[in-house]
Structure 1
Amino acid sequence: MTRHFLIAWHFLTAVPLTRRHYAPAPHELAASMGWYPMVGLILGGLIAVTDLLMDRLFTPEVANLLLLLALVSVTRGLHQDGLADTLDGLAGGQTPAERLAIMRDGRIGAIGATGLFFALALRYAGLLALPSQVRFPVLLCMPAFGRWAMVVAAWAVPYARAEGGLAAPFLDHLAPRHVVAASLVIGALLSTLFGLGGAVTGLVGGVVLARACTALCRRCLGGVTGDTLGATNEVVETSFLLAGPALLGLR
Structure 2
Amino acid sequence: DTADGFFSSRPRERILEIMRDSRVGPMGVIVIVCVLLFKLTLLTAVPPAARWWVLLMTPFAGRCALLINMAVIPYARPEGGLGTIFYSSRFRLQLAWAFVLLTVIGWLAAGPTGVFVGLTAFAFSIIFAFYVKYKIGGSTGDTLGAACELTELIPAMVYLVSVSGGLMKI
Query: How high is the TM-score relative to the length of structure 1?
Result: 0.60
Q: Report deviation, 1:190.
A: 0.8
Structure 1 unaligned blocks of 5 or more: 1-84
Secondary structure of the residue aligned to 1:94 is coil
Out of 151, 158, 178, the residue aligned to residue 67 of structure 2 is 151
Secondary structure of the residue aligned to 1:167 is helix
Matches for 1:161-180 after TM superposition, within 5 Å: 161-180=77-96
Q: Does 1:102 align with 2:102?
A: no
1:123 alignment counterpart: 39
**Matches of 1:131 and 1:121, distance apart in 2:** 18
2:140 alignment counterpart: 225
Query: How high is the TM-score relative to the length of structure 2?
Result: 0.87
Residues 72 and 126 of structure 2 are in contact (CA less than 8 Å); yes or no, is this contact kept in structure 1?
no
Q: Residue type of the partner of 2:125?
A: A
Q: Does 1:203 align with 2:127?
A: no
1:213 alignment counterpart: 128
Structure 2 unaligned blocks of 5 or more: 165-170
**Matches of 2:9 and 2:22, distance apart in 1:** 16
Q: Report deviation, 1:219.
A: 1.2
Across the aligned residues of Structure 1 and Structure 2, the Cα RMSD in angstroms comes to 1.9
Residues 53 and 109 of structure 2 are in contact (CA less than 8 Å); yes or no, is this contact kept in structure 1?
yes
1:53 alignment counterpart: none
Matches for 1:72-111 after TM superposition, within 5 Å: 85-111=1-27
Q: Does 1:238 align with 2:153?
A: yes
Identity over aligned pairs, percent? 29
Deviations 1:153-172 (A, max 9, x none): 22131111110112224334
Instruction: Give the aligned length.
Output: 164
